[in-house]
């Protein structure tokens, strides 16, 4: 397990992703611009499979964050001086 933790720490080193803790197969992490930590239960038998699962999970979460931020772009529907967001919650 220590080897897995070391590998995860090296994986995120130099990024804005923080490993908060690892307990068993559960990794608690914090992503940039998130206001609270999240957790993922790593699936796999080997360390390599669990790391691949972690990468897949993190990348999926980041892609969702990017999509959400794109949805929050401001648009001017032609009303001079009145700017609105799309009809989505961006909070």
Structural domains in the chain (count): 1
In a domain, 91, yes or no: no
In a domain, 11, yes or no: yes
In a domain, 63, yes or no: yes
Residue 78: pLDDT band (50, 70, 90) is: low
This prediction's pTM: 0.78
Residue 73: pLDDT band (50, 70, 90) is: confident
In a domain, 60, yes or no: yes
Domain hosting residue 67, numbered range: 2-85
What is the per-residue DSSP string for 21-34?
Answer: EEETTEEEEE-TT-
Task: Give the mean pLDDT of the chain.
Answer: 86
pLDDT in tens, 8-47: 999 999 999 999 999 989 999 999 888 899 999 999 999 9
C-alpha to C-alpha distances, 43 to 26, 52, 56, nearest whole angstrom: 9, 9, 11
């Amino acid at each position: 397990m220590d080897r897995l933790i070391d590998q995860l720490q090296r994986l995120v080193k130099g990024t804005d992703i923080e490993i908060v803790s690892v307990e068993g197969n559960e990794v608690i992490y914090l992503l940039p611009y998130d206001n609270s930590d999240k957790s993922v239960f790593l699936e796999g038998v080997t360390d390599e499979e669990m790391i691949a699962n972690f990468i897949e999970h993190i990348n999926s979460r980041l892609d969702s964050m990017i999509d959400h931020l794109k949805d929050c772009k401001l648009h001017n529907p032609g009303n001079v001086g009145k700017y609105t967001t799309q009809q989505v919650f961006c909070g």
